[in-house]
Amino acid sequence: MSATPTPSAPALEIRGVAVELGGRPALVDVDLSVTAGELVGLIGPNGAGKTTLLRTILGLLTPRTGTVRLEGRPAENGRGTVGYVPQRHEFAWDFPLSVEKAVLTGRTHKVGWLRRPGAADRKAVEEALEQVAMTALRHRPIGELSGGQRQRVLVARALALRPALMLLDEPFTGLDVPTQELLTSLFRQLAAKGQALLMTTHDLPAAADMADRICLLNKTVVADGPPQTLRDPAVWLHAFGVAQSDQLLTSLGVIR
């Protein structure tokens, strides 16, 4: 009998996941959960496995061992409830689409490839555009957008799915300050309304300021907890291999 989701099931639950790439370990015995209403920052150095973990959650990589569950169900049965915000360079901005139609592509999993979108799909797109303040630009070709506007389109595209879990891959990279502030406010609002969010970022101060929890990853989970609990320099040294005098750690208040 297939498993059914329960109200108490985390939006995402990863247990004992190991992944190999090219015969080498990319992830080792990873445990991580994200519950509804939680924004978790996934932080680690380059090559730590952050993108590999997102690709595993999305079903693009198969774990050698371990399990990934979405709302209590095996991941393969629940990936239609995951909204993914890729890095901007991963999207084809030269494709002749309007903002509205680009956001509508986020509904493809629900609409299907051969069906026309219905009223529910268009309403979901309308609401997503409103959330990222892009309604006025709904008919603009995506190729004419600024970097910040493009990022807001990708967020709206994920929101249009009305997902139980959102995966955000470096959402603030290269953005101007107003767009960063808009998205930070939006992500906080989504979490406050019960959305589960897992965000990779290199912006440690921003993550420490906005995330409910920080997960330090370096092939395995080095530490996981509220930002104010991750004050031990040894934890950061282990994750990043930086010196105790590192200015970034000082700015975070890790070293007093």
| pLDDT tens profile 15-42 | 999 999 999 999 999 999 999 999 999 9
- The three-class DSSP label of residue 183 is helix
CB count in 10 Å sphere of residue 39: 22
Is pLDDT of 256 > 80?
no
In a domain, 70, yes or no: yes
Is pLDDT of 254 > 60?
no
| Token pair of 84 as six digits | 């993914």
| Token pair of 229 as six digits | 């609990």
Say how many domains are in the chain. 1
In a domain, 143, yes or no: yes
In a domain, 217, yes or no: yes
* Domain limits for position 174: 12-252
Is pLDDT of 191 > 70?
yes
In a domain, 111, yes or no: yes
In a domain, 6, yes or no: no
Residue 8: pLDDT band with limits 50, 70, 90: low
In a domain, 2, yes or no: no
Domain of residue 233, CATH code: 3.40.50.300
Note the pLDDT tens digit of each residue in 44-86: 888 899 999 999 999 899 999 999 999 888 887 666 789 999 9
In a domain, 185, yes or no: yes
In a domain, 19, yes or no: yes
Higher-scoring residue by pLDDT: 47, 110: 47
* Cα–Cα distances in angstroms (integers) from residue 231 to residues 44, 91, 241, 249, in the given order: 16, 37, 16, 9
| Cα(149)–Cα(155) distance, integer angstroms | 10
Contact 54, 215 (CB under 8 A): no
